[in-house]
Amino acid sequence: MGRIRGRDTRPELATRSALHRLGWRFRANVQSLPGKPDIAIKSRRIAIFVHGCFWHLHEGCRLARQPKGNTAYWGPKLRRNVERDAQQRAQLQTFGFRVLVVWECETSDRAKLEATLARFMRSEVCPE
C-alpha cells in the first residue's frame, strides 16, 4: 500500500487534462475545502473529486471488487471511505459548492469524460 498515491493519479491527471482542453483553469488538491477536492474552482464554487473505483466502492463497476482475504479489515475500511465521501459532499454543498464525482473507470474514454465535464461546467445545478 506504500506505493498507492493520494494525488496526481492517472485518472486525476486525465480529468485535469480534459478540463484544460475545455478551457478551464483550476486549483488542484485544495486543502482549505472540506475533503480536499482533487479539483476546485472557488470563484465558481465548483469541486470535483476523482475517485478510484476500488477505494470508494463504485457500485456496479468491475474495478470495485471486494477483496476476498482479510474481509474484517477491508469491508469496514472501504465503507468508511464511502461514508466520509458523503459527509464531505454534503458539507461542500452547504457552502454553496456544486460537486461532481468522476470515477476512475470513466476516465478511460476521453471523449465521454470531456462531454461529462462540459455538461457539468455549463449546468447551474448539482448532478445526483
Write the pLDDT tens digit of every residue in 59-94. 999 988 888 999 999 999 999 999 999 999 999 999
Whether 98 is in a domain gets the answer yes
- Whole domain around residue 94: which residue ranges? 8-23+60-122
Q: Are 33 and 47 in contact (CB under 8 A)?
A: yes
**pLDDT top residue among 37 and 126:** 37
Q: What is the percent of the chain with per-residue pLDDT over 70, rounded to a whole number?
A: 92
Q: Is the pLDDT of residue 2 over 70?
A: no
Is the pLDDT reported for residue 125 higher than 90?
A: no
Total number of domains constituting the chain: 1
| Mean confidence (pLDDT) of the chain | 91
Instruction: Report CA dihedral (38, 39, 42, 45) to the nearest 10 degrees.
Output: -90
**pTM, two decimal places:** 0.90
Per-residue pLDDT, 8: 83
Domain assignment present for residue 45? The answer is no
Q: What is the mean pLDDT of residues 42-49?
A: 96
Q: pLDDT digits over 12-36, tens only?
A: 999 999 999 999 999 999 999 999 9
Residues whose CB falls within 8 Å of the CB of residue 59, separated by 6 or more in sequence, listed in order = none
Find, among 55, 46, 123, the residue nearest to 92 by Cα. 46
- Of the pLDDT bands very low, low, confident and very high (cuts 50, 70, 90), residue 7 is confident
Q: Classify residue 54: in a domain, yes or no.
A: no
Tell me if 40 is assigned to some domain.
Answer: no
Residue 102 · residue 116 · CB < 8 Å: yes
Q: What is the CA radius of gyration of the chain?
A: 15
Q: Which three cell numbers stand for residue 4?
A: 498507492
